[in-house]
């Protein structure tokens, strides 16, 4: 190679590097970094749920039961400790670098810094103040996904003794009692009895994100019963109305789901992960 | 033929006559209209066309039994109203605490006072430690759900609703988040007064009273109790209360007036279920704005206040003593708490009331 | 010869670099252009949302086989187009994103665009995967649910983003204020000219 060519090549490389050097400064989160998720290992036991037919509390189409295929679900919610390991492996999901489009300003609100749990928080308490986007990223990094709303509600039908306790008189009341306890989210996971499936803390610690929480049109104003809304606002009129008007606990849960947006982070809202049975490789 | 024609003509005449007399009556009433009545068609600007002036100011709101200052003769303005939804423990009766859900930490929630044509920016913040989402449906608002859907706020979130007050009157507001009867049953209601242009006529005393029925897990036992859905569905309350607490208008909490003063009570009923038969023992309401609207009835003994409704009652106190406020469905008053007192001080006029033989 | 070639490359690199610097002011934290989802437009061209950067966006999510609400939304989008002064159309992108990626292939979107006379350059149709569609819907706080193989229930939202990908306004419901959306889009386009 002629020296002139050599110098030119060098120059061009220099120019290029100067260019690329500018870029991460301009967009501190480049596409590549954002898109990839560093894997983490979790040790939580997953419970096999055989699935089956169930009647959705809200959103049943023409009052038809919905078939829920078999799936695996974490026996408990994701803990503070686990979320710490997730943000350790995934800097873009840390408190200081998360995008506002992915979480509001309360994200991990009480964490003093990026890799530090709140001073008085128990590592084995469920993580809260996490957005749907963050929950989804966590699940991905663990090789899992978020449960669907139907999967979650399928499990929620159970009490300690039966897989479907909805018709029991005490079912809704007992849940409301649990919902109403202030500060329940600070307690460690798995301290109360599991339900029929061996799943813990379905009601007594936190609200939980589901993958398709945004599939419930809206009962922010529950009195319209969906009817008017559907005619005015939505396709497929009549697709949404509550199936059990006395199930106040479910009204609360669905009310919560319709009140949140995916970037919201909330004091008593966390998540657990699920997985398809087919790609059941790790346990 | 002739007869028929005559009948026709007569009918015509009568029609014209009656039309004229209706016109006359209209003119008469508009002439004799007192302040607070709707202005006549000629000078009445529709509320929607009333222009607001100035920057938005934060509106004064008050907890019962107090009300903010009257609007007087000010023009339409812009207001910011701040409300926070909370879930708190507070005393419902002696030694018994209840988990109330509130607007601004009180039951009933803060009293909002505006005038027709005002433009309100309502900021509804849901406390960060709330368990549930909340919202607000204001009966004074024209629009879907009274704003319920638009103001739905998850714990820690704030929602904003802009509205123009179109209709004067005394209106209930309440939370309409699911399940609604529970949110209302826990105390999530209050009143918003929209005064007509020019304001309500002046009186000496104004108070804010709101009735509600409460359904608890364990009545009459000390400790903390909470909402009981079965009793609510059966509409069998343990408590029927003024201003969310047994004795809230008794003892040192009595509302007061002096002989010769005019008293105006803004009375609401949050429900969720019972209709109130509001009565003040020993008084006659000189004026009642029926159901909180613009029709004023006079010389009323007991006025019905539906759940989710209101009434404005006015009377002059002429004689000293303690006047008992009740829901005249009296078991509620004597057994469930729907009782309060107005203490009137001043000189007794024996001509009005005098005990004993002549 | 070679040297000249290198020179050309160098010049190009340098110029593209400075061009980028000038145009690429830091993306705001809440910009949708940070999203890494992969899309195809009606011409089958693969793209990221970031490729839409630089223009004011008017975005709606629909599906083409919808018989009830979506036709109204589509007609609203066309009304918005009409309400925008022609001079500003090159600075504005009217974007229709399908919530039914399974059925709404780029070809189908192309046909839909032609049938509905939405095939001018300021119209963009986008399709992705179900997962990435869901992510985008959640960014818009749009609710939807597949209720049978061909139908969805969904909320109706038209959103305006500025050229940096920040959400400016959202109009919800079928009674969307066309004038407001159009004037907002024009205002932003003017400001960023």
pLDDT (tens digit, 9 = 90+) per residue, C25-34? Answer: 688 989 999 9
| C186 close to C88: Cβ distance less than 8 angstroms | yes
Contact B135 A248 (CB under 8 A): no
pLDDT of residue B183 exceeding 70: yes
- Average pLDDT for B250-264: 97
pLDDT of residue A192 exceeding 70: yes
pLDDT on residue A8 = 53
Give A203's contacts in chain B (Cβ within 8 Å).
Answer: none
pLDDT on residue B23 = 41
N-to-C CA span, chain A: 58
- Average pLDDT for A187-202: 96
The tokens for C40 are 């195809």
Q: Residue C67 sits in a domain of what CATH number? A: 3.40.30.10
Give B178's contacts in chain A (Cβ within 8 Å).
Answer: 219, 222, 251-252, 254-255
What is the tens place of the pLDDT at every residue in B64-109? 999 999 999 999 999 999 999 999 999 999 889 999 999 999 999 9
- Average pLDDT for A169-194: 90
pLDDT of residue B31 exceeding 70: no
Residue with the bigger pLDDT between B30 and A158: it is: A158
Cα distance between residue B239 and residue B261, in whole Å: 32
Contact B176 A222 (CB under 8 A): yes
Rounded mean pLDDT of chain B?
A: 88
Contact B179 A224 (CB under 8 A): no
Lowest mean pLDDT among A19-28, B289-298, B341-350, C104-113: A19-28
In terms of C-beta distances under 8 Å and separation of at least 24 residues, what long-range contacts does A280-283 make, across chains too? A280/A72, A281/A143, A282/A143, A283/A45, A283/A46
Please state the φ and ψ torsions of residue C68, each to the nearest 5 degrees: -105, -80
pLDDT of residue B38 exceeding 60: no
Domains in chain A (CATH in brackets) are 10-276 (3.90.1580)
pLDDT on residue A93 = 96
Helix, strand, coil distribution of chain B in percent, nearest 5: 20, 40, 40
List C-alpha distances in Å: B45 to A89, B31, B342. 65, 18, 39
Give A173's contacts in chain B (Cβ within 8 Å).
Answer: 229
- Average pLDDT for C102-110: 96
| A46 close to A73: Cβ distance less than 8 angstroms | yes
Give C136's contacts in chain A (Cβ within 8 Å).
Answer: none
pLDDT of residue A218 exceeding 90: no
What is the tens place of the pLDDT at every residue in B324-334? 999 999 999 99
Question: Is A22 at the interface with chain C, CB within 8 A?
Answer: yes
pLDDT on residue B114 = 98
Contact A222 B179 (CB under 8 A): yes
Q: What angle do CA B132, B137, B138 make, to 5 degrees?
A: 140
Cα distance between residue B220 and residue B239, in whole Å: 10
Contact C69 A5 (CB under 8 A): no
pLDDT of residue A104 exceeding 90: yes
Contact C139 A101 (CB under 8 A): yes
Q: Pick from A179, A223, A264: which is nearest to B157 by CB?
A: A264
Q: What is the ipTM of this complex?
A: 0.83
Question: Is A21 at the interface with chain C, CB within 8 A?
Answer: no
Residue with the bigger pLDDT between C70 and B112: it is: B112
Cα distance between residue C22 and residue C9, in whole Å: 20
pLDDT on residue B167 = 96
| A147 close to A156: Cβ distance less than 8 angstroms | no
Give C25's contacts in chain A (Cβ within 8 Å).
Answer: 26
Give A220's contacts in chain B (Cβ within 8 Å).
Answer: 133, 135, 148-149, 152, 177
Query: Kind and range of the H or E element at B183?
Result: helix B180-185
The single-letter DSSP state of residue B39 is P
Q: Which chains touch A (3 or more CB pairs under 8 A)?
A: B, C
Determine the distance in angstroms separating the CA of A222 from the nearest CA of chain B, rounded to an integer.
5
Contact A182 B179 (CB under 8 A): no
Closest-CA residue of A relative to C37 is: A35
Cα distance between residue A93 and residue B213, in whole Å: 48
Burial of A203 (0-12, 13-18, 19+ CB in 10 A): buried
Determine the distance in angstroms separating the CA of C172 from the nearest CA of chain A, rounded to an integer.
9
Between strands C151-154 and B189-195, the pairing is unpaired
Contact C29 A101 (CB under 8 A): yes
Cα distance between residue A150 and residue A57, in whole Å: 10
* Chain centroid, CA B77 distance in Å: 22
**DSSP characters over C72-119:** HHHHHHHHHHHHS-GGGGGGEEEEEEES-TTT--HHHHHHHHHHTT--
Lowest mean pLDDT among A263-272, B35-44, B200-209, B310-319: B35-44
Assign B9 to helix, strand or coil: helix
Q: Pick from A183, A221, A248: which is nearest to B148 by CB?
A: A221
The tokens for C92 are 């504005």
- Average pLDDT for C7-18: 46
**DSSP characters over B61-115:** -B-TT--PPP-TT---EEEEEEEEEEEEEEEEETTEEEEEEEETTBSS--BEEEE
| B196 close to B168: Cβ distance less than 8 angstroms | yes
pLDDT on residue A19 = 44
Tell the residue number behind the tokens 């849901």, with chain if given: B126
Residue B139's nearest CA partner among B148, B130, B131 is: B148
Question: Is A156 at the interface with chain C, CB within 8 A?
Answer: no
- Average pLDDT for A31-46: 78
Give B185's contacts in chain A (Cβ within 8 Å).
Answer: none
- Average pLDDT for A146-154: 96
Give A182's contacts in chain B (Cβ within 8 Å).
Answer: 87, 129, 131
Query: Kind and range of the H or E element at C62?
Result: strand C56-62
pLDDT of residue A13 exceeding 60: no
Contact B152 A264 (CB under 8 A): no
pLDDT band at A10 (very low <50, low <70, confident <90, very high): low
Cα distance between residue A52 and residue A151, in whole Å: 10
Mutate one of B135, B178, B216, B225 to test the A interface: name it (highest A CB count within 10 A): B178
pLDDT band at A24 (very low <50, low <70, confident <90, very high): very low
- Average pLDDT for A236-258: 71
pLDDT on residue C153 = 87
| A47 close to A197: Cβ distance less than 8 angstroms | yes
Burial of B15 (0-12, 13-18, 19+ CB in 10 A): exposed
Side-chain half-sphere exposure of B228, counting CA atoms within 13 A: 18
Give B125's contacts in chain A (Cβ within 8 Å).
Answer: none
Task: Give the Cβ contact number of residue C172 at 10 Å.
Answer: 16
Question: Is B132 at the interface with chain A, CB within 8 A?
Answer: yes
The answer, yes or no, to whether the previous bond of B179 is cis (omega within 30 of 0) is: yes
pLDDT over 70 for what percent of chain B?
87
Mutate one of C5, C15, C31, C34 to test the A interface: name it (highest A CB count within 10 A): C34
Residue C92's nearest CA partner among C162, C24, C40 is: C162
What is the tens place of the pLDDT at every residue in C116-151? 999 999 999 999 999 999 999 999 999 998 888 888
Contact A2 C26 (CB under 8 A): no
pLDDT of residue C171 exceeding 50: yes
pLDDT on residue A247 = 81
Helix, strand, coil distribution of chain A in percent, nearest 5: 35, 10, 55
The single-letter DSSP state of residue B134 is B
Domain that holds residue C81: 2-192
Give A267's contacts in chain B (Cβ within 8 Å).
Answer: 128-129, 155-156
Q: Pick from C9, C35, C69: which is nearest to A12 by CB?
A: C9
pLDDT of residue C13 exceeding 50: no
Between positions 168 and 207 of A, the ones with CB within 8 A of C are: none
Burial of A277 (0-12, 13-18, 19+ CB in 10 A): middle
Q: Say how many domains are in chain C.
A: 1
pLDDT of residue B18 exceeding 70: no
Cα distance between residue B12 and residue B15, in whole Å: 5
pLDDT over 70 for what percent of chain C?
87
pLDDT band at B275 (very low <50, low <70, confident <90, very high): very high
Torsion of CA C177, C181, C184, C189, to 10 degrees: -160
Beta strands in chain A (DSSP E): 46-49, 52-54, 66-68, 71-74, 207-208, 269-270, 274-276
Between strands B321-327 and C56-62, the pairing is unpaired
Helix, strand, coil distribution of chain C in percent, nearest 5: 45, 25, 35
pLDDT on residue C175 = 84
Cα distance between residue B136 and residue B112, in whole Å: 13
Mutate one of A4, A13, A15, A104 to test the C interface: name it (highest C CB count within 10 A): A15
- Average pLDDT for B104-124: 97
| B235 close to B272: Cβ distance less than 8 angstroms | no
Determine the distance in angstroms separating the CA of A268 from the nearest CA of chain B, rounded to an integer.
7
How many helices and strands (H and E) does chain C possess? 5, 9
Q: Pick from B152, B156, B227: which is nearest to A220 by CB?
A: B152
Q: Pick from A136, A233, A240: which is nearest to C174 by CB?
A: A233
Determine the distance in angstroms separating the CA of C142 from the nearest CA of chain A, rounded to an integer.
7
pLDDT on residue A243 = 64
Q: Pick from A220, A264, A268: which is nearest to B135 by CB?
A: A220
| B178 close to A222: Cβ distance less than 8 angstroms | yes
- Average pLDDT for B249-258: 96
pLDDT band at B43 (very low <50, low <70, confident <90, very high): low
Contact B132 A252 (CB under 8 A): yes
The tokens for B112 are 């909002």
pLDDT of residue B15 exceeding 90: no
Question: Is A18 at the interface with chain C, CB within 8 A?
Answer: yes
């Amino acid at each position: 190679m002629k020296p002139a060519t050599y110098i030119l090549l060098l120059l061009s490389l220099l120019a290029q590097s100067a260019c690329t050097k500018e870029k991460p400064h301009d967009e501190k989160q480049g596409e590549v970094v954002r898109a990839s998720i560093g894997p983490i290992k979790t040790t939580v036991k997953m419970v096999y749920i055989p699935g089956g037919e169930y009647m959705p509390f809200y959103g049943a189409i023409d009052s038809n039961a919905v078939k829920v295929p078999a799936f695996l679900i974490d026996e408990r919610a994701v803990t503070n400790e686990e979320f710490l390991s997730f943000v350790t492996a995934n800097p873009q999901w840390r408190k200081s670098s998360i995008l506002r489009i992915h979480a509001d300003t309360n994200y991990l609100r009480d964490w003093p810094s990026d890799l530090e749990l709140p001073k008085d928080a128990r590592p084995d308490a469920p993580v809260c103040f996490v957005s749907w986007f963050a929950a989804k990223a966590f699940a991905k990094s663990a090789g899992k996904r978020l449960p669907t709303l139907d999967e979650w509600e399928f499990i929620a039908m159970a009490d300690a003794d039966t897989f479907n306790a909805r018709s029991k008189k005490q079912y809704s009341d007992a849940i409301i009692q649990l919902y109403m306890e202030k500060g329940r989210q600070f307690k460690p996971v798995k301290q109360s009895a599991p339900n029929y499936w061996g799943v813990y803390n379905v009601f007594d610690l936190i609200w939980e994100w589901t993958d398709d929480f945004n599939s419930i049109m809206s009962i922010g104003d529950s009195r319209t019963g969906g009817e008017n809304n559907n005619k005015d606002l939505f396709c497929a009129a009549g697709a949404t109305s509550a199936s059990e008007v006395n199930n106040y606990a479910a009204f609360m849960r669905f009310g919560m789901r319709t009140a949140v947006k995916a970037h919201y982070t909330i004091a008593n809202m966390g998540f657990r992960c699920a997985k398809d049975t087919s790609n059941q490789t790790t346990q | 033929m002739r007869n028929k024609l005559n009948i026709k003509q007569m009918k015509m005449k009568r029609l014209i006559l009656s039309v004229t007399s209706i016109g006359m009556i209209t003119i008469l009433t508009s002439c004799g209209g007192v302040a607070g009545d709707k202005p006549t068609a000629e000078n009445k600007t529709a509320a929607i066309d009333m222009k607001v002036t100035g920057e938005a100011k934060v509106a004064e709101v008050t907890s019962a039994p107090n009300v903010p200052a009257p609007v007087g003769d000010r023009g339409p303005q812009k207001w910011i109203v701040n409300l926070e939804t909370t879930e708190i423990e507070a005393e419902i009766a002696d030694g018994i605490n209840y988990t109330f859900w509130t607007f601004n930490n009180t039951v009933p929630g803060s009293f909002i006072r505006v005038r027709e044509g005002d433009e309100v920016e309502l900021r509804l913040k849901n406390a960060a430690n709330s368990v549930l989402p909340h919202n607000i449906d204001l009966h004074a608002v024209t629009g879907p759900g009274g704003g319920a859907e638009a103001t739905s706020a998850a714990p820690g979130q704030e929602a904003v609703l802009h509205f123009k007050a179109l209709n004067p009157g005394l209106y209930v507001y309440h939370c309409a988040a699911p399940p609604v009867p529970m949110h209302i049953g826990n105390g999530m209601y209050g009143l918003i007064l929209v005064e007509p242009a020019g304001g309500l006529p002046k009186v000496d005393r104004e108070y804010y009273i709101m009735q509600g029925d409460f359904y608890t897990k364990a009545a009459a036992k000390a400790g903390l109790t909470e909402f009981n859905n079965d009793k609510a569905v059966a509409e069998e309350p343990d408590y029927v209360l003024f201003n969310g607490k047994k004795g809230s208008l008794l003892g040192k909490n009595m509302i007061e007036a002096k002989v010769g003063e005019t008293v105006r009570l803004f009375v609401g009923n949050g429900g969720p279920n019972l209709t109130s038969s509001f009565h003040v023992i020993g008084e006659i309401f000189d004026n009642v704005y029926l159901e909180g609207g613009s029709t004023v009835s006079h010389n009323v003994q007991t006025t019905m206040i539906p759940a989710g409704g209101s009434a404005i009652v006015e009377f002059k106190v002429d004689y000293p003593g303690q006047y008992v406020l009740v829901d005249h469905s009296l078991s509620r008053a004597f057994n469930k708490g729907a009782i309060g007192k107005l203490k009137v001080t001043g000189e007794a006029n024996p001509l009005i009331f005098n005990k004993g033989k002549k | 010869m070679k040297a000249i070639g290198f020179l050309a490359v160098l010049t190009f690199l340098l110029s593209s670099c400075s061009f980028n610097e000038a145009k690429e002011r830091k993306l705001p934290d809440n910009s949708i252009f940070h999203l890494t989802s992969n899309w195809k437009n009606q011409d089958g061209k693969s793209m990221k949302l970031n490729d839409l950067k630089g223009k004011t966006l008017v975005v709606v999510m629909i599906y083409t086989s919808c018989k009830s609400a979506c036709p109204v939304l589509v007609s609203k989008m066309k009304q918005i187009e009409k309400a925008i002064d022609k001079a500003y159309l090159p600075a504005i992108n009217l974007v229709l994103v399908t919530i039914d990626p399974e059925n709404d292939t780029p070809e189908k979107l192309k046909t839909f665009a032609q049938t509905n006379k939405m095939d001018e350059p300021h119209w963009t149709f986008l399709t992705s995967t179900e997962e990435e569609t869901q992510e985008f819907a959640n960014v818009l706080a749009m609710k939807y649910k597949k209720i049978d193989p061909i139908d969805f229930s969904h909320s109706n939202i038209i959103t305006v983003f500025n050229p940096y990908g920040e959400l400016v306004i959202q109009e919800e419901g079928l009674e969307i204020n066309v004038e407001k959306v159009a004037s907002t889009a024009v205002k932003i386009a003017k400001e960023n000219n």
